[in-house]
Copies of this chain bind each other. A is one copy, B any other.
């Protein structure tokens, strides 16, 4: 099954557009899990997965939180754990890789073969030949940074080329000439509902990975209305810190579940066609 098929099935089965981002920050783990950092990262992330798996359409581990702590082995184990226990939940590796073709091939091996991710985020700045080694994996998803959720998104992504902002140029490339295998998606930040609506109008039903709700302050109603497809779907709305650190005490998993449930319901309240 391809990533897009898997995602459609997951949206349908879970009734959720929520994607929980797995960003295990060792400085914020409950004290009981801080003894062995690498093991703590695994145990924390596993507990979050167990507590939220039925509330999400996808999980999104952020590789930087693992790499900063030399915890690649734990990232492999987290993804394997999800696949063993919750095989219907697709896993997006948030890595934002991008390099020339021969090197991008190695990054594709890292994401899809080593970590067994179903999809990976990719930075488009290096152009077509930096993306092709990822899209060549036909059953995997390639989620290109389009309009990111951070304030710095405006530095370059908003610059206009003959009246068309760069992020729309990326959206057009991802939905046309780069999408021969039909496996491209886009990152469009929740913090910019106007831009999201414009991108949705350009690319049809292409899935969006939407970071920026929660800690980054994106407005859920505005974002769902701007980004959803006609069928009330098409979004993987990612929350990381607001869910993971809803409590930093021993009740972190229950608190994460409560936050995820609240956010799933808040999202669903604004979906059309439900």
Contacts and interface: CB of A to CB of B under 8 A. Distances in A.
Interface stretch (A48-56, A65-73, A84-92, A217-225): A65-73
A150 interface: yes
A23 interface: yes
A263 interface: no
Contact of A145 (B97, B126, B145, B154): B126
A30 B125 CA distance: 34
A160 B157 contact: no
Contacts of A139: none
Question: Considering the complex of A and B, which 8 residue pairs feature the smallest CB-CB distances, nearest first?
Answer: A127-B152, A127-B155, A64-B106, A129-B152, A100-B150, A68-B106, A68-B109, A125-B125
15 contacts: A64-B106, A65-B106, A67-B110, A68-B109, A96-B97, A100-B149, A102-B241, A123-B126, A124-B125, A126-B150, A127-B148, A128-B155, A129-B152, A159-B161, A166-B166
Given A68-B110, A100-B152, A160-B161, 15 more contacts: A62-B99, A62-B103, A64-B97, A64-B107, A68-B107, A70-B72, A100-B150, A100-B216, A102-B241, A124-B125, A124-B155, A124-B156, A125-B156, A126-B153, A156-B169
